[in-house]
Amino acid sequence: MRSLPRHALAMGACAAMMLAALAATASSASASPSWQLVDEFSTTNPACYTTSGGTNDLEIDLNGTWSTPINIGASGLPAGVSVAGTTLIDFYYYLDGRYTLSYGTPPIPAGWSNGTGAVRLAAQPDPSSYTLDAEGYVGVAVPSGLPANSSFSITLWASDGTTMQAESVPVEIKASCKRRY
């Protein structure tokens, strides 16, 4: 008879461990964001600047949906390289057969995207009359005088206040660069 209480105790302990494992799995699943920063740049598709320097607006592409605004920026900038002025969000809408464009500053409002360009914004006055889209860009300025065929990396990032995601961006300095878009 003494083995019955120990058996019940052992079963109870197993059940408690299973519940703890399920709770941990559910917790980690709910912590996973519903959006991702898409790697736009790679060693085969780097950001390019010329030896005369300049500013390029490096695009931030997102995939998924989000209900809170997403801030964007750049970090890990080598000496002399900087974020140029203000990071921009291009807002544009399609109405009466034409696009209208305006500019703003981050964050990117709540919305969704398939990761290949424009973000469809969730909040718009009347979605049946027009669509409201946005694209985020970080302006990165590189000084003149860097040697041709040199390279370095920077980091583009996006954060919803809870999750931060980053993309390593290879940068090449060349005598001339092909236009990306």
Q: Name the CA radius of gyration of the chain, rounded.
A: 24
The pLDDT value recorded for residue 81 is 94
Task: Answer whether residue 113 shows pLDDT above 80.
Answer: yes
Residue 170 CA neighbour count, 13 Å, CB half: 11
Q: Looking at the structure, do residues 64 and 124 belong to the same domain, yes or no? A: yes
**Residue range of the domain that includes 145:** 35-174
Q: What does pTM read for this prediction?
A: 0.71
Ranked by mean pLDDT, which of 18-27, 41-50, 96-105, 128-137 comes out on top? 41-50
Q: Looking at the structure, do residues 132 and 170 belong to the same domain, yes or no? A: yes
Count structural domains, the chain. Answer: 2
